[in-house]
Amino acid sequence: MINLYALTYAELTELLTGLGEPGFRAKQIWHWMYERRVERFDAMTNLPGATIAKLHAAAALGSLELVARQQSRDATEKRLYRLGDDQFIESVLMPYDDDRMTACISSQAGCAMGCVFCATGQMGFARNLTAGEIFEQAMVFARELHARGERLSNVVFMGMGEPFHNYAASLAAVRQLMHRLNIGARHITLSTVGLAPQIRRFADEGLQVNLAVSLHKTDDAQRSALMPVNRRWGIEGLLDACRYYVSRTNRRITFEWAAIAGENDTAEEAHRLGRLLAGLLCHINIIPLNPTGDYDGLPAQSASIKRFSDVLRRYGVASTVRVRRGIDIDAGCGQLKTAVLGGKPNGSATAAAKTAMGGEAADDLLR
Ligand code: SAH
Ligand code: SF4
């Protein structure tokens, strides 16, 4: 079965020519897929029955198999999908009060970066997703929203995986979101653990896509303990890349700060962060930690978060506290898979070995 969402327009044309269909068919089908966003070939009402039968025989509208879904009290919806080769990924849809509908999508099955507080990091790396698999997660939400008269407005790459460790596919998916689903670059956000070379490369793309950088600590040794990738690109190298990004794009960077009680929510840490970022065009997103199985840190309390952002303000560094979405459904990515299937990466021995190796594996893969 050929997944039509994975095809470029040229590839779709080629497929249809191979099926003996006239040249204009690709345009019709493309329109049904991305403008009308239908879920089934039968709904493509201007196609002859014979064409629809050929499509049924040769192709499918999508490749993701829904395995589990959870809805939280705040209407956040989380999904677990099985991929063709028995890997698993998660996506989340988050409605906001101001009519925004944001999809949070995965870029890899698992993750090689080994951040100790992250459920995905704890399960290790399985494989990169293709651009089609990344794009399709948003496509599925866009299609369902369209059917009920709503629109997918924003996409964040904050699900499983490190998008800059799967750079080409992630960027290709970004372009598909823009061109096929009409989502403006300013409504798309890539979040990175801090791969400095890719931040520079991204700065040179000439895109208006938002960049979020997961910082979480101001001291190299302590950041390395939480996020092994810091051993390779330390804070100064990371901030150099961030300064390059800002100078090149004139766009504001968001720094993610997973606030962990007693770990990075103190006034002293806030002063260090303020000094580190003062003068840089940026914004801090403070997110109370979502507790995960293999990490015993706890979310920072609101009083310390308030003190933290008050200190930052004295340095002219703006921050917002992000509401923890879907807290009752473990909406931190990686957590649904862990709940449904256990924490190990799909029973694969090599991936399990990589998990056991934790950060060392990340270093190897990044070389
Ligand atoms: N790999 C990318 C994007 C996916 S993770 C990155 O690390 O940026 C998206 C965000 O969730 C990151 O800021 C990450 O640090 C944060 N995160 C991961 N586990 C978390 C947890 N248990 N609680 C709060 N935030 C978490
Ligand atoms: Fe990977 Fe991001 Fe999780 Fe770190 S926080 S392990 S980079 S998904």
Over residues 29-79, the pLDDT tens digits come to 999 999 999 999 999 999 999 999 999 999 999 999 999 998 888 788 999
Kindly report the protein residue whose alpha carbon is nearest to atom 21 of ligand 1: 290
Q: How confident is the model at residue 314 (pLDDT cuts 50, 70, 90)?
A: very high
What is d(CA 102, CA 116) in angstroms, rounded to the nearest whole number? 26
Residues in the ligand 1 pocket, defined by CB under 6 Å: 117-118, 158, 162, 191-193, 214, 256, 258, 287, 289-290, 292, 332
Kindly report the protein residue whose alpha carbon is nearest to atom 18 of ligand 1: 118
pLDDT at 342: 64
What is d(CA 216, CA 171) in angstroms, rounded to the nearest whole number? 25
Catalytic residue list contains 21: no
> What integer is the mean pLDDT of 129-136?
97
364 pLDDT above the threshold of 70: no
Q: Select which of 21, 77, 90, 256 is catalytic.
A: 90
Catalytic residue list contains 263: no
Kindly report the protein residue whose alpha carbon is nearest to atom 8 of ligand 2: 161
Q: How confident is the model at residue 142 (pLDDT cuts 50, 70, 90)?
A: very high
Q: Select which of 111, 242, 282, 333 is catalytic.
A: 333
Kindly report the protein residue whose alpha carbon is nearest to atom 16 of ligand 1: 258
Q: 1, 132 in Cβ contact below 8 A?
A: no
> What integer is the mean pLDDT of 173-195?
98
pTM value is 0.91
243/356: higher pLDDT: 243
Closest-CA residue to 114 (of 106, 105, 122): 122
Which DSSP state fits 299? Answer: B
Say how far residue 118 (Cα) sits from the centre of its chain: 14
Closest approach atom of ligand 2 to CA 114? 6
Ligand nearest to the CA of 355: 2
Distance 53 CA to ligand 1 centre (A): 44
**Ligand 2 lined by 120 (C-beta under 6 Å):** yes
CA distances from 278 to 136, 177, 311, 358 (A): 39, 34, 12, 33
Closest-CA residue to 137 (of 73, 209, 66): 66
Closest approach atom of ligand 2 to CA 165? 7
Closest-CA residue to 84 (of 132, 29, 125): 132
